[in-house]
Structure 1
Amino acid sequence: MNHQKLTFAQRVGLELLWLWAWLFAVMPYWFKYYVVENLFYVLLCYVLRYRRKVVWQNLRNSFPEKSDDELTAIRRKYYRTLSELFVDTVNMAHMSADKARTVLTVKGLEEHRAAVRGRDWIALTAHYGCWEYCSYWGLYEPSQMLVAVYHPLRSVVMECFYQRLRNYENSTTVAMKECLRFYLRNREKGIDGKNLVMGLIADQNPPRRPDSHWFRFLNQDTIFFDGGEKLALRCHLPVYFVRMKRLRRGRYEMSFDLLYDGEEVVEPNEITERYVRRLEAEIVAQPELWIWSHRRWKHKRTNVNG
């Protein structure tokens, strides 16, 4: 979304929003993460009670074996995560390359670099931890361009705001519906001569289709976006699960698990199945880091053959 598509009032709103975010981002770490985050936590959890029924229902359905006390503890931790994500995201408005390498470190960098050198590849991630920090991958591998595939926001002001946050050095964005065409158009020469990393968040709630495949995920029948698998099979691209490990407030470690090497013969939906199992394991290990306030299971399975 470029500024020419904004009205004058929208441009003013965007610049004021960006100025506020920038002023917040330059504040001391202790103030952002131990004052503002704590205040935001109280607001979300106890004052607004933000989507509390949705969070509780999702947790109860996902972990039927847990007691109410255990689920309540997870819920409280989740609101902590949500508050921290607010700070993490706004903090990106003022992020130097050196600071970005501080908030995001990469485990097994040399091994992964050697495995994908000279190749395009697909990064499958999720709404787990601060996924926005994935935008900084290009700082560690400048020979690659991260193409973050996303769903445009309805608000043009917020759309432009998030574009500014995400379009970092060696990083760009493309709408989900343009993903395949974008890659096919750029795969020969890349972007600025760089290999392409197609980054997809695959755990969102996709539109239901007659041929949607259902996966058993967190004790519920669930459909997933399969665009990553389709792109991988069509273009013979390796696929990696991107793991985001929280180290402390505002600090994450990225690592990679190979899901598909680009050549293996696999059954339909097998690549997505591997992604689902990796993600499920991460959520079970640290459930508070996943986004429970989304209405993830709006679609219900009506047959047993899909």
Structure 2
Amino acid sequence: MQFLVYILVYPFLWLVSILPFRLLYAFSDFLYLLIYKVFGYRKKVVKDNLRLVFPHKTEEEINDITKKFYHHLCDMMVEAIKSLTISEKEMKEHFTFSNVEVINDIEKQNKSIILMCAHYGSWEWIFILQKYVESKGFAVYKRLANPYFDRLVKR
């Protein structure tokens, strides 16, 4: 069954991944409408959690943060999909890194470095950093339930 899901879903993901960035983010906006407006995916949980961490915020501010969260979530989803086919050239055009020399200087001192991006950005794209630093990077992630998609994520 998991293989069937993979062979049915992967062609769609691949088609989305070859979209130029302008269309990719337009697709993200469409996903936002579906996930937030139409289906309300986990909207109550998100708002309840925001009220817990921002008790001083008004309901209007909570709604604004919620919308921004869903926009960000959809952007991260399409960026993860884009990572299937993005070229090194496209990545270098899309990203800029500041203070990379700090990482290289620490490495020259034989010290370890841990970079964490949590859910702030698309972690799949952090590996472009390896083009700018001298050492190899490693990632820790939670294995996906579908082994076929898990293999796809690890490549």
**Could you say which residue in structure 2 is the equivalent of 1:122?**
114
CA contact (8 A) 1:14 1:160 kept: no
How far the C-alpha of 1:16 sits from its partner, in A, is 5.3
Q: Which has the higher strand share?
A: 1
Partner of 2:29: 38
Structure 1 residues 28 and 48, CA gap change in structure 2 (3 angstroms): same
- Segments of 5+ residues of structure 1 without an aligned counterpart are 1-6, 165-306
Measured in 2, the distance between the counterparts of 1:28 and 1:118 equals 41
- Change over 3 Å in CA distance of 1:117–1:17 after alignment to 2: farther
1:112 equivalent to 2:118? Answer no
Q: Say what the alpha-carbon RMSD is for the aligned residues.
A: 2.1
Q: For 2:116 and 2:76, locate their aligned partners in 1 and report how far apart those are by CA, in whole Å.
A: 20
Any unmatched runs of 5+ in structure 2? none
- Deviation, 1:79, is 0.8
8 Å contact from structure 1 (residues 33, 87) kept in 2 = yes
- Please report the TM-score for the alignment, with normalisation by the length of structure 2: 0.87
SS of the aligned residue for 1:122 comes to: coil
In the aligned structure 1, how far is the partner of 2:97 from the partner of 2:81?
22
Deviation at 1:15, TM superposition (A): 5.2
1:138 is aligned to 2:135: no
Distance 1:43 1:16 in 2: 21
Greater CA radius of gyration, 1 or 2? 1
Alpha-carbon deviations, 1:273-293, whole Å to 9, x = none? xxxxxxxxxxxxxxxxxxxxx
Select which of 154, 175, 178 maps to 2:145.
154
Give the Cα–Cα distance (whole angstroms) in 2 for the partners of residues 157 and 129 of structure 1.
Answer: 24
TM-score normalised by structure 1 residue count: 0.46
Counterpart for residue 300 of structure 1 = none
Q: Provide the residue aligned with 2:91 in structure 1.
A: 100
Count of residue pairs brought into register by the alignment: 154
User: In the alignment, what sits opposite 2:41?
Assistant: 50
Conserved 8 A contact 1:14-1:161? no
Q: Which has the higher helix share?
A: 2
Q: CA deviation at 1:154?
A: 1.7
Structure 1 residues 88-97 or 125-134, which shifts more? 125-134
| Cα distance change of structure 1 residues 28 and 64 upon mapping to structure 2, 3 Å threshold | same
- Evaluate the alpha carbon distance shift between residue 124 and residue 83 of structure 1 in structure 2; reply closer, same or farther with a 3 A threshold: closer
The higher relative CO (CA closer than 8 Å, separation ≥ 6) is in: 2
Question: What is the rounded CA distance, in whole Å, between the counterparts of 1:16 and 1:114 in structure 2?
Answer: 47
CA distance in 1 between partners of 2:11 and 2:73 (Å): 23
Q: Residues 264-303 of structure 1: matches in 2 within 5 Å?
A: none
| 1:18–1:93 Cα contact (<8 Å) kept | no
Contact 1:97 1:139 in 2 (8 A): no
Q: Give the secondary-structure state (helix, strand or coil) at the position aligned to 2:55.
A: coil
Distance in 1, matches of 2:14 and 2:99, equals 32
The answer as to whether partners of 2:107 and 2:135 remain within 8 angstroms in 1 is no
CA contact (8 A) 1:18 1:161 kept: no
